Amino acid sequence: MNWSEIRIHTTREAVEPISNILYETGINGLVINDPADLNKERRSSFGEIYELNPADYPETGVYVTAYLPVNSDLQQSIKHIESAVQALPAYEVDTGKTQIEVLNEVNEENWANAWKKYYNPVNVSDTMTIVPTWEDYEPADHEIMIELDPGMAFGTGSHATTLLSLQAAECYIHTNDTVIDVGCGSGVLSIAAGLLGAGVVHALDLDDVAVKSTQINRDLNGLQDKIFAEQNDLLDQVDRQADTIIANILAEIIVTFIPDAWKNLKPGGYFITSGIIQDKQQMVEDGLKEAGFHLVGVSAMEDWIAIVAQKPQKESGA
């Protein structure tokens, strides 16, 4: 099979929703090139270990590059992507002057190896590193190493929202905890929870590709007995009592299921939310407080925010 390379020139804010559109269309590979990465001053050593080529980046905005199978549905898929991206401003997503280009056609043999150059080990913290399966990496003593195969297009956890989620997970997930990962994607947060000692992790995603990707990566890390991945629309019809719920999703989506998160958390449980741009921080905080949550932590990286909220041990009036 051959693959058609589709490049979308858009804004940082639109990266996540456009990525979701591409996943739903059936892409097999996703690359994000943000020129801010070229000159970014890092406050810590955490993040992807790489050397960047300026020629691969736009002067302004962000490139989102994806790969679609070359078949009879290709033109229809491209039209669907264009239509869905053009509809995003109606949902208050600033896409800027978005340009969609069809670039090259890549054959299966070249794709199988060429895409790997985009993925490198990612230092999450002093004690956790995400490593693509083909990389030779020797973890330090007591370092948690998450092996990940990003072949299903979800990346290796280098995005700020994922790093924020993982760093929060290190603080709030404890031995034998029950964890729910809402919108599991590659399964990286579920795997981290399992390696941090959680007793059981329920990984949920509406996209069947994400469920299968999580299962593949779960097995790579030997967590078949801890992580249970299944298809589900957020927390709809879910009835479990978890110690921690993690959701690395857009702010607009987070606020829609805050009541379901409340119902599925034990008293004293934590709700870790990420994928929140700074302009939407107040909206999420207000939604959490209105539901009865106490805010216990807010962290920031680049233009992104993660919020940790706690369900009180006793509900008001109890």
DSSP letters for 165-190: HHHHHHHH--TT-EEEEES-TTSHHH
Which residues lie across from 205 on neighbouring strands? 231
CB atoms closer than 10 angstroms to residue 315: 10
Residues in the chain: 318
Is there a binding annotation on residue 141? no
Using CA atoms, how far residue 58 sits from 13, 52, 54, 63, in Å, is: 16, 13, 8, 7
Angle between helices 74-87 and 15-25 (to 10 degrees): 150
Give backbone dihedrals phi and psi of 285, rounded to 5 degrees, phi first: -60, -45
Answer whether 101's CB lies under 8 Å from 6's CB.
yes
Is there a binding annotation on residue 183? yes
Answer whether 7's CB lies under 8 Å from 101's CB.
yes
Q: Shortest CA distance to 297 belongs to which of 146, 170, 116, 183?
A: 170
Is there a binding annotation on residue 162? yes
Using CA atoms, how far residue 210 sits from 78, 85, 141, in Å, is: 21, 21, 31
Answer whether 27's CB lies under 8 Å from 61's CB.
no
In the DSSP assignment, the letter for residue 133 is T
Is there a binding annotation on residue 286? no
- Non-local (6+) Cβ contacts of 90 within 8 A are none
DSSP letters for 213-235: HHHHHHHHTT-TTTEEEEE-STT
**Residues comprising the binding site?**
162, 183, 205, 248
Q: Binding site for S-adenosyl-L-methionine, residues? A: 162, 183, 205, 248
